[in-house]
Each structure stands twice: as C-alpha cells, then as structure tokens.
A and B are shown apart, each in its own frame.
Chain A
Amino acid sequence: MHPADDGGLLSPYRVLDLTDERGILCGKILADLGADVIQIEPPGGSSARRIGPFYQDEAHPDRSLFWWSYAANKRSITLNLASRDGRTLLKRLVPSAHFLIESFPPGHMERLGLGYDALAAINPALIVVSVTPFGRDGPYAHYRASDLNGMGMAGFMYVTGDPDRPPARVGVSHFYLHGSAAGATGAMIAHAQRVLTGRGQHVDVSCQEAVARTLASAPQLFAIEKTVIRRQGSYRQTGDTTFMRITWPCKDGFVNFQLSGGAGAGRSVNNLIRWMEEEGRGDPVLTGLDWTTLGYGMINKELLERVVPPVERFLMSHTKAELFEGAVKRRILLFPVATARDIMQNTQLQARGYFRQVSHPDLATTITYPGPFVRASATPLELRRLAPKVGEHNAEIYLNELGLTRQELVRLREAGAM
C-alpha cells in the first residue's frame, strides 16, 4: 500500500482548490472520496461564504450553509494571488499537489503567471481543472453568466416551466454544480491517463455543455425529427405530438406519476389502473389498454385528455403518504413532490442511515448533514471534517508542511500575501 494511504479511495492525492462558488463542488467530490483538498481562499475568505442561507440567519462568513455543504472535508489556507509573495507560495505548493482546480474567468490564471504551462513546468504530472461557464475559448468564452443565464443558454429553461409563463430555471442554482461535478469526472479520467503515462494535463470544463447533457432526448428530437420541445407545465412533451403527464395534485400537496407507456412506466400505469379498480374507480378506456405495449412517451394528446381526468380524480382522493405507500406495495412509479421536511422524514433515507449527526463544538450543537453519495463496501466515505474557518489550516500547512518559519508567516500576513 502507498505510504500516504489511510484507507480512503483517494487518500494519496492532494488537491489545490482555487475555486469559488462556481467550482466548489468539484473539490468536494474529490475530498469526499478521500483526497486531501486544500481550499485556497483570498484574504478575508471565499466569496462562497457570502452565499445564503446562513446558520440562524446570521450572515457571517463562517455560517454560510452553502459553504458548510460544499467545503466540508476540505482544509483551508488563505493566499493572496494578487501579490507576488502569494503567487510564490502557490508555486511552492504545486510540486506536492496532484490536482489544481480553478474557476476564474478564462485567461485570469495566465495573467497571474499561473497558466497551465507555467504550472506544468513546475510539476509535469499536475492535472489542472478549469471550470468556466462556456469553456476556455470560443465566441462566448468571456461571457458573464449567472446561474440563470447559464441555464437558459444550455437549453434547460426553454423546456421547463409553464407554457403560458416565461421559461423557468430550477429553483436552486445548479448550473455551476453540474460543471463542478463534471470537473471531478474529467479530473479522474485525466488521472487514469496519468497512471499510464506519468503526465498531467489540462481539463477544460464547460458548464453549458454539462447542462445541455441533462436534456434527455430533446436535442435528438430536434436533430432527427425537427421537433422543438417546449415547456408543458405538469406535462412533458416527448415528441412532435406525444406527451406524458408528470405532476399531479393530490389531497395534501403534489405527487409525481408518469402516465406513459413503455416497459417500466407501462407496468406502473397498469398497476395504478388495477388499484383504481380495487377502489371502484376503474375507467373502461384505461382498463382496455395495455400500457406496456405503448412506447415510452408515445401517448398522443387526444388519448391523454381522455385518460387524465379519472386518474386525477383518484389521486385527489388520497394524501401523498397514502399514495406513496400504496404505490410501493403495487410497484407503481409514484412519489411525493417532496418538501425539505418530507426529505428529512424520508424513511428510506433513515433506514439507510443516510443523514449524519455532526458535532459543531464552536456552536455547542450537533447538526444533521446529508450523508455520502455512495456506499463503498471497502472504503466507506465519511464527513471527516467540518467546513473550515477562513485560513484555519494556515499554520498546519504553511509551517508544518511547507516549512515556513513563524517569522515568515507573520511577515507574509502583514504584507497581505495571506
């Protein structure tokens, strides 16, 4: 076993994480997999610390729940890239690093003298990951993009939302999370190549492309059948004249149920129809069809308009909990449209022991965090450390690992290099 291996999937590897909120999940994924990820923050702290919500609504840089979520398992040092000393310090960290992740606008690292070529000259095995909205070059490379702009440009918004309202984004900012997670994917593919060749390389991620890959068959529907998919509210358009119903009201909220043909979805619909019959709410048209023989998403509007009302009446007569319980028993693809409370009370998540109780000694409390994204039988993932305070590991890393003297550390701090 490698000397640095402490049993984690990626324990031998060190990651220098220069990202802000636009790339922060990339290092989080590698950190959760066991890598030693050092979040490198500007003096005063990362802008990701300004993103709410905040613990007890106190807008303090150490109380951002966004930061807590995406910087956990990382260490933090401060380093001012705008100063020559800061850049020199970064270069001193590069030889022992395996990955460097950044999410600056394209060209920024080069202007600092820290472009890929300069870093590779120090450490040819280094893998550099750049997460940007549109990629590092090309006509839109220098465009500014908030989450909203990005989701629109990637084609996601046009197909999401109500038909009589403007296109809608997901109610949470996901554009950069998709690109960040893709950064971890590209980083590990590059790592596999490094194992074979000993050389690193530059991974150039486009968040726009990442989100464009969430559009299911919509791009192919245009390219092959010239069908432009539009947003349909509680329905989904699956082809030029075909639809499926997705979201339904019920007694105490909403549920999600795919009224569609297909091998899997069709069995589910057949099972719901049998449940309706059990309760004396059968419908002859519904019963007369074998939904498994209709193609997935192949139902036309006329048929839907005929079969939706009886299904809707049935669902409205039950609560989300009743519907979910009944669906599980009958293998129906139906789930509640969950609220945060529903998620925290989800018995499946509880049975799998998903949530983690983590002690926050500074707040004298224990806080419930979402758990690992995989159960790995040989190498369990854990929340090993809380999201760091600004520069929490300056002494540990600069003094103990990099070998600076205490006097140098004080001097660099006074000079604003960290």
Chain B
Amino acid sequence: MRPLAGLKVLDFCWVAVGPMTTSYLAEYGATVVRIESKRRPETLRNAPPFGSQGQSVNRSGYFANYNANKYGMGVNMAHPQAREFVKRLVAWADLVTENFTPGTLEEWGLGYEELCQVKPDIILFSTSMLGRGGPYSQQPGFGAVLASLSGMTGLTGWPDRMPTNPYGAYTDFLVPRFAVPMILAALDYRRRTGRGQHLDVSQLEVSLHFMAPLLLDYTLNGRERDRMGNRHPAAAPHGAYPCRGEDRWCTIACQTDAEWEALCQVMGSPAWTQEERFATLLGRKAHEDELDSLTSRWTQEWEAYELMRTLQQAGVPAGVVQTTHDLFDDPQLRHRGHFVFMDHPEVGRHPVQRSEFRLSQAPGEFRHAAPTLGQHTVEVCKEILHMSEDEIAALTAAGVLEE
C-alpha cells in the first residue's frame, strides 16, 4: 500500500518551495490537485529550460521537476463564482497547501476560518517568506533573497570579495524537509484527536535552523564570522584544488592526523610535507596559504576523478566538484536512480529528481509527468466532484473553469 494512499491535497502552491513540498506527497501516493490559471500562469511555467521548441507555459523543465504526479486544474480565482466552486474541493480535501503572500487566501474568502466552516478538521499549510503577522509579512520575495536575510549569503564566498549567493533559490529547497514532517505530523495528530489546524511557516524562521550555532555565537560571544572561502576552523588542507582540464576541481578535507599523513603518502611524501610547520594542524592552519598553493601544484597534474579515487582509497576525504553534466554520469546517483526520465507532451523527455531517500517498503512512484495548464480540469470535476457534463460546460462558459 502506498504510504500516503488516500491523502487528498488541494494545492495552491507555486514557484519552488510549495510545489517541492507537495511533490514528496505526490511521489508517495497522495492525490494532489493543483489550482492554476491561464490568466496568470505561475512563475515557474515561464522559467527555462524550455528545450528546442522555445518558451511556452507548458514547456518548462523547471516546472516539470516539481509537479509530476499532480493533477492540473484550471480555475480563474479572480472570478467571484470560483471561490464557491473551490469550496467543493475544500470539502473533499484533508490538506490545503499554499505559499502566497499572506492575505491572498483571505482576499478570496478562503482563509483558515472560512475553510474550517467548510471542513472543520482541515489542515491548512501556509508558507511565506516571513510568516503571517508582523510589519513585513506582506513583503514578497523568493528564496534567493532569503539566503541573504538568513545570513547564509554573507558567509559564502571570499573574505576579500563581495558575498556570493548560494546558487538558486537555496532556502526554497531547505524548507520542504521541515514542511513535509510537520504536515504528516499534523495529519497524524488529526487522526488521533480529530483536530485540524493552520500551520504558518516563515521561510526565514525555518532557514535559521541551519544557522543556529552562529546566532548563539553572536549573542553569547559577540562574534560575527566573516567569509572564509572553503576554509574550516579545524581542518587543513581544506579546499577545492585545481585538476587537469578546464575548470576541474577536487575537494580535499583533512581533519585528522591520519588523513593528513595518508595525503602525504599519496603525494609521495615530498620534502615540503615533512617540514615541521606542516606537522600539526595548528602549523598547517598557520601556514595555510602556502599549504594550499603547494597542494594545488600537486593536484593540477591529476585528472579529478582519478585523484578522488586514489585519495579515497588511501582514506583521505576527497570529492570531485561535479558539474550538472557530471551529475547525470555520476555512478552513485545512477545506482540510486536519482534522475527519473519522464515523457511530457510538450517538454519531451526530461529528468525529474526523485526524493533523496529510499523506503524499503515503498518505492517512490512517477505515474505521470507534470500537468499542462488545465489538463485535468474535466477529470477532476468528474471523478472527484462527480459533476455533470452540463455543469462543467456551464462553469467553463462562465469563465470559472479553464480547460
């Protein structure tokens, strides 16, 4: 039996954080119905890549990665009748998910209180940049900005350069791993007690759990860390070192004496490695610039994967800095089937990233590719809401439903 069989989700999520959250639910058996409108296609539908056929709302590979297995329902929420219509889906659902700017659902008359009138034990999951309430609750934004507000950007990069944003909408992909456990815990609580609730998640507040020790360091020790590139307070060498070829790198991280000694052995123990100043961690930290440049001189003769394999065999933590191209050839990711290739009528063959765990009793399932806009409007109306053809036609003609 699928882990989430029978779980019914009415999904208003858009962009990355929300759709990635509900993608876990859809992968493990929940029925997820996405509400979208042609009038204002969600941001990711217009985000590359689109492939050789060019941009179209149904061709984004970015969108396709987070929306496989979901049903696409076209509803024009700006239409006054749409709100009453959507309440029929609320009555069906166990869980409503959304990541609009706080206040949007309320404007539609679909705030938590109103949802409870339709379905008293509904669980509403809301995630926003900064949470509900407070002076900046309405401030819109994406995860890319939030890496900055949570202090991650300021610590990433080089001390003599501008800070650099962790790639992409970094925190958008961190929140779902808190969101799914809390949603499933709330569903379990409802099963035990009969009570639903509203989960109000601030993306900033979640992200700070990845920064907690540094916040304590500031409040207790008054210390504000600066950027340190790839360095580590208690390890050396600790960096990405150049290898043969264009922009090829291998990381090496020596935290113990044994790892340093093993690295020296692989290098053939040249004279410099035997110098007293490199014998201890404190010595290596004190002469780290030189250590890095001597190490780089050695690594640049190596092919990156050959270096990684040789070092790993000797017990030295090492890893190739892989490109996105490399990820598709990575034997470990292949072994785990990380990329699932799906066919989509407009995107074509494209990779979807599987969840990062394997359940021994429940393989994640990839039943159908991400929906085109309004692809399942009629299907959802018939099979979930048991509406007649006439009723569907009337609501479509009225501009409430979009097929």
Contact B16 A216 (CB under 8 A): yes
- B134 part of interface (Cβ distance < 8 Å): yes
A17 to chain B, nearest CB (A): 15
The 8 Å CB contact of B321, one of A152, A203, A219, A297, is: A152
- Give the residue name and chain of the B residue nearest to A295 (CB): B46
Interface residue range, chain B: 35 or more
The 8 Å CB contact of A184, one of B181, B187, B191, B250, is: B181
Which residues in window 1-19 of A have CB below 8 A to B? 1-2, 5, 9-10, 12
Cβ–Cβ < 8 Å partners of A30 in chain B: 181
Given contacts A148-B232, A339-B154, contact A178 B177 (CB under 8 A): yes
Q: How many A-B residue pairs have CB under 8 A?
A: 566
- B366 part of interface (Cβ distance < 8 Å): no
Complex-state Cα separation, A148 to B330, whole angstroms: 18
Cβ–Cβ < 8 Å partners of A238 in chain B: 47-48
A185 to chain B, nearest CB (A): 4
Interface residue range, chain A: 35 or more
1/0 per residue A136-169: CB within 8 Å of B?
0111110111111111111111111110011111
- A105 part of interface (Cβ distance < 8 Å): no
A200 to chain B, nearest CB (A): 8
- Give the residue name and chain of the B residue nearest to A120 (CB): B360
A5 to chain B, nearest CB (A): 6
- B270 part of interface (Cβ distance < 8 Å): no
Cβ–Cβ < 8 Å partners of B209 in chain A: 25, 69, 370, 373
- Give the residue name and chain of the B residue nearest to A161 (CB): B164
Contact A190 B359 (CB under 8 A): yes
The 8 Å CB contact of A193, one of B3, B64, B330, is: B3
- A405 part of interface (Cβ distance < 8 Å): no
Contact A377 B200 (CB under 8 A): yes
B45 to chain A, nearest CB (A): 9
Cβ–Cβ < 8 Å partners of A138 in chain B: 331-332, 335-336
Cβ–Cβ < 8 Å partners of B133 in chain A: 351-352
Cβ–Cβ < 8 Å partners of A121 in chain B: none
Cβ–Cβ < 8 Å partners of B51 in chain A: 224-225
Cβ–Cβ < 8 Å partners of B135 in chain A: 328, 347-348, 351
A272 to chain B, nearest CB (A): 13
Contact A224 B347 (CB under 8 A): yes
Given contacts A148-B251, A162-B164, A375-B131, contact A182 B357 (CB under 8 A): yes
Contact A343 B151 (CB under 8 A): yes
Q: Among the listed stretches A53-61, A84-92, A275-283, A392-400, which one makes contact with chain B, having 4 or more residues with CB under 8 Å of it?
A: A53-61
Since A172-B214, A335-B148, A337-B148 are in contact, a sample of 12 more A-B pairs with Cβ atoms closer than 8 Å, ordered by chain A residue number, is: A10-B189, A144-B315, A191-B184, A195-B191, A206-B357, A208-B332, A214-B167, A228-B324, A229-B167, A258-B145, A296-B46, A376-B199
Interchain residue pairs with CB less than 8 A apart (18): A9-B186, A65-B216, A69-B213, A148-B230, A172-B210, A182-B177, A188-B184, A191-B188, A203-B358, A208-B332, A217-B48, A217-B168, A331-B139, A335-B141, A341-B224, A349-B204, A373-B182, A373-B201
